[in-house]
Structure 1
Amino acid sequence: MRAFRLAFHLALPLFLFASPASAQSGFQSCLAGLRSAAAAKGVSGATFDRAMAGVEPDMKVIEAMNNQPEFKTPIWDYLGTLVDDEKVAEGRNMLRQYASVFAAAERRFGVDRHTIAAVWGVESDFGKARGKWPLVQSLATGACLAPRRNAFFKGELIATLQIIERGDVRPDRLFGSWAGAFGHTQFIPSTYMRLGVDGDGDGRRDLVDSIPDALHSTANFMNKAGWVTGATWGYEVRVPDGYRGPTGRNPKRPLSHWAAQGIVKYDGSSLNGTGNAGLLMPAGRNGPAFLVFKNYDAAYSYNGADSYALAISLLSDRLRGRPGVQGQWPTDDLPLSREQRRELQRLLIARGYNVGEPDGAVGSLTRAAIKEIEAKIGMPQTGRPGEKVLRALKSGRV
């Protein structure tokens, strides 16, 4: 869930001019004040003291708030890594391995297994990428040392302590993002408290070590977000070249409205579906287009971004055996899959660049190396991992 795009809305804290000793003193004073606030929410003093024992501020949390990447990922690159063949194969394997769990979640909440699996795959790569920040420390740092967002962090810290108080998850298993998202499907603690459910019947809600709990909780989230059982999220369409009307998941219009604009399914067949739909053109009027219904909005509510909701929706389609995006993205430099990104990193390492492990995750080191390659082959220096740079490396031109 990535804390509902918190990273894009955090204001910069002003306390950084304080001395380390002053900051530490203020941190401990803040924690003392939080103890009573936690008690008012049912967190015992013993639980609070055990959870906070030895906790010190982690200034890397503040750095993470202040230093969001400037690189803007094009939608085709975002989907290229989250909805590639590798992810689809992994998802189908998970659907087979946990078939009975998915079936039970479907029956209980009315959300289809392919959508549940897609959320799991996009959020944590089926549990392999759940975050490494200790939640109590990260949230306490934000609560006490980020004054412009301390209400959010205080609320999430207290929710985390409530989870510990209930015995749902052991404190030493509570790791996630610096902003608090954790578990297989990356709930923030307050969402966990509201919508986490027991999926394996042991009386606890453990989204960290219980895959049934995580999948059932995700289905519960989608259900509460307005999921319509048996309905489609949407589908790809063809839009006439002269179309100049509204775009976006809202406003939604009757299908008759879109049909009157000359819009048809990508295969040329007539529009169908339940309810009104919006016309989504995530790369502008020269890229692929989609009609999206209420179920798309449910996916959108999980993370508040069209790129995310489209990744969930398209991955769920691929898991059903349907094709991916068929229209052409407006780029002459195609995106790379995760395996291609790993190949690119291996080629950079072979040329002496330090990019860390060739894991397909493109961070600042890889982007810096790509910029050097782009300069050598006469491309603008963007740091983007695209097909042109990979081809240049494979051909030996650089």
Structure 2
Amino acid sequence: MRFQFFVTFLSLITCISGSAGIAEPVETSLRPIPRPTQITLVSVQSQSSAETIASEAMAEIGQRSLPTLRPRSRPDALARAQSKAGVPSASTNPAGFQSWINAFRGRALAKGISVRVFDRTFAEVRYLPQVVKLDRKQSEFTKSTGEYLASAVSDTRISNGREKAQQNQQVLDAIEAKFGVSKYVVSAIWGMESAYGSYRGSTHIPSALATLAYDGRRGAFFEAQLIEALKIVQTGDTTPDAMTGSWAGAMGHTQFMPTSYQSYAVDFTGDGRRDIWSEDPTDALASTAAYLSRMGWVRGMPWGEEVVLPDGFNFTLASGPKKLPSEWARLGVVPAQGGTIPDHGAARILLPAGAKGAAFLVFKNFDVIKRYNNSDAYAIGVGHLGDRISGEAGLKGSWPEGERALKRAERQELQTLLTRAGFATGGVDGRIGPNTVEAIRGFQRRVGMEPDGHPSVGLLRRLRG
């Protein structure tokens, strides 16, 4: 799946919040893979799919002409390659890879890995050239939020989600009661990450991590993941051959990286193992809820709600100040589905496609979802899919025709042109931060556009002109 900022998960904030909080953008997420970030949506990424390999898998794969948020979002390319050519034997390992293993062995033992566990695991480790190809072929995510949501919250995913939620109702109710996290959000993450467990990935994780660590492009990161994978084997939670997942190292029903697993996975079944690989999704679903709880999930608070903005709305308020829903209501903001929004806490207006697209009022729990995957599109997808699984209606807002996320080079060009026009962006790094948003608004005001701060294709064309 979900697919920029490779960080270890030990640096994530782990406070538990018991009161309504203010929604704030996040800097890191559970995933180390390039992800769509904010509206810029840069990705490889993001990965997964099928309700038996014949039902949901085929239905979802058929819908995936659009990229999704993870390199495993399609049937695992590595698994296909291996099924055709056979799993490589030890004799096919490059000499350099074996030399790396020999050197890594000492580092692993120094980190507390036993000789028995290391040798047992590495007896099965093979160099996987297809993993390197997939890692280097990662492309930018340039579809619009509307196109992404059409795939992420498809009719198939909604109907299968409702069925799975019903089948696992007792477990999900117990998980919600313990961790306070919405069972529908947990179900939605399950659907987004592995098509409700029907496609969890079939790549041998120790081999994939060893290959990527040896490759060296992100060697330190993947070596750290490999050490934690060995520790997981050492504690007996799984065996080396059963440790399978995506080519980039994410595992189980809800796709935990080894470091995240070590910090947040739980044994909810009470069998003595934190088993996220089993056909039984209980531990994986509970681990997801535990993760979100540790990231500050507020019990009873929604992720957000689609809203309609009044004529003459001050778009400089978007993505900016946080106000209670009652305060937004006094400014003319109303729920798209009617009624009123209770004051669950401070919330901000989010315009993922700018002034001409759908608008959302998002609470702190929206940003907690982004701890799982630091992407506005992903968080909207999870929140909206959870709502649909619970029986709520679809979105009413439209999406601008022809709109898409800008590529990194285009974002850099945008910043360069804004600077030349006299609007400082604080640098040309391709990241749309507060300085760039204010620069965009300054230019938009000058030329008579709505100052929504959105880095659109139309804005770039206007700057070029």
TM-score, normalised to structure 1, is: 0.75
What pairs with 1:242-391 in structure 2 (closer than 5 Å)? 242-243=312-313, 244-248=315-319, 252-255=322-325, 257-267=327-337, 269-331=339-401
When residues 6 and 194 of structure 1 are mapped into structure 2, their CA distance, relative to the original with a 3 A threshold, is same
Alpha-carbon distance between aligned partners in 2 of 1:34 and 1:188, rounded to the nearest angstrom? 20
- Cα distance in structure 1, aligned partners of 2:259 and 2:402: 43
Instruction: Please give the alpha-carbon distance, in whole angstroms, between the structure 2 residues aligned to 1:54 and 1:172.
Output: 7
Alignment of 1:179-218 (within 5 A): 179-209=248-278, 210-218=280-288
- How far apart in 2 are the matches of 1:108 and 1:71? 36
Structure 1 residue 61 corresponds to structure 2 residue 131? yes
2:324 touches 2:343 (CA, 8 Å); kept in 1? no
| 2:208 aligned residue (129, 132, 138) | 138
- Name the counterpart of 2:463: none
Amino acid at match of 1:116: V
* Alignment partners' CA distance in 1, 2:304 and 2:140: 31
Whole-angstrom CA distance in 2 between matches of 1:169 and 1:253? 47
Alpha-carbon deviations, 1:333-372, whole Å to 9, x = none?
Answer: 9xxxxxxxxxxxxxxxxxxxxxxxxxxxxxxxxxxxxxxx
- Offset at residue 281 of structure 1 (A): 1.2
**Counterpart amino acid of 2:97?**
F
1:164 and 1:44 map into 2 onto residues whose CA distance is 10
Partner of 2:289: 219
The corresponding residue for 1:74 is: 144
Deviations 1:75-111 (A, max 9, x none): 1222112212221221111122112211211121111
Distance in 1, matches of 2:129 and 2:114, equals 28
The partner residue of 1:104 within 174, 179, 191 is 174
Say whether 1:160 aligns with 2:229.
yes
Unaligned segments of structure 1, at least 5 residues: 12-20, 334-398
Distance 1:227 1:55, change over 3 A: same
- Structure 2 CA distance for aligned equivalents of residues 151 and 47 of structure 1: 21
Alignment of 1:228-239 (within 5 A): 228-239=298-309
CA contact (8 A) 2:165 2:187 kept: yes
Q: Report the more deviating stretch, 257-266 or 228-237.
A: 257-266
**Higher helix content, 1 or 2:** 1
Confirm or deny: 8 A CA contact 1:198 1:204 kept in the other structure. yes
Map Cα deviations across residues 139-160 of structure 1 (whole Å, 9 max, x no partner).
Answer: 00111112x4111101111111
- Cα distance per residue 1:138-182 (max 9 Å; x no partner): 100111112x41111011111111111111112222222221111
- Cα distance, 1:297 vs structure 2: 0.9
Give the residue type in structure 2 aligned to 1:309: A
Deviation at 1:5, TM superposition (A): 5.2
Out of 124, 128, 144, the residue aligned to residue 194 of structure 2 is 124
State the SS of the aligned residue for 1:64. Answer: helix
Aligned to 1:240: 310
Mapped to 2, the partners of 1:177 and 1:39 lie a distance apart of 26
Gaps of 5+ in 2: 3-29, 36-41, 45-90, 404-465
Q: Quick one: which amino acid aligns to residue 371 of structure 2?
A: S
- Give the Cα–Cα distance (whole angstroms) in 2 for the partners of residues 32 and 113 of structure 1: 45
Q: CA deviation at 1:273?
A: 2.9
What are the Cα deviations for residues 304-356 of structure 1, in whole angstroms up to 9, with x where unaligned? 111111111001111111112111122389xxxxxxxxxxxxxxxxxxxxxxx
Q: 2:43–2:138: 8 Å Cα contact kept in structure 1? A: no
Sort the Cα spacing of 1:316 and 1:54 in 2 relative to 1 into closer, same or farther, 3 A. closer
Question: Is this contact kept in 2: 1:247–1:279, CA < 8 A?
Answer: yes
Distance of aligned partners of 1:10 and 1:51 in 2 relative to their CA distance in 1, 3 Å threshold? farther
The CA distance in 1 between the partners of 2:343 and 2:156, in whole Å, is: 30
* SS across alignment from 1:57: coil
- Residues in 2 aligned to 1:307 and 1:256: alpha-carbon distance in whole angstroms: 26
In structure 2, C-alpha distance between the alignment counterparts of 1:254 and 1:92, rounded to whole Å: 31
Whether the 8 Å CA contact 1:10–1:65 is kept in 2: the answer is: no
The alignment partner of 1:69 has SS state of coil
Q: Distance in 1 between matches of 2:110 and 2:330?
A: 58
- Cα separation, partners in 2 of 1:277 and 1:29, compared to 1, 3 Å: same
CA distance in 2, matches of 1:251, 1:37: 48
Structure 2 CA distance, aligned partners of 1:55 and 1:37? 17
Name the structure 1 match of 2:31.
4
Name the stretch that deviates more: 254-263 or 182-191.
254-263
Match of 1:302, SS state, is: coil
Cα distance change on mapping 1:274 and 1:70 into 2, 3 Å = closer
* Cα contact 1:124–1:184 (8 A) shared by 2: yes
Is the Cα contact below 8 Å between 1:7 and 1:65 reproduced in 2? no
Paired position in structure 2 for 1:395: none
TM-score, scaled relative to structure 2: 0.65
Q: 1:169-221: CA deviations, max 9, x gaps?
A: 12222222221111000011110011000011100001010311111101101
1:53 offset after TM fit, Å?
A: 1.4
Residues of 1 paired with 2:286 and 2:339: CA distance? 36
Indicate how the Cα distance of structure 1 residues 169 and 68 shifts in structure 2: closer, same or farther if over 3 A, else same. same
For residues 278 and 300 of structure 1, the distance between their equivalents in structure 2, rounded to whole angstroms, comes to 15
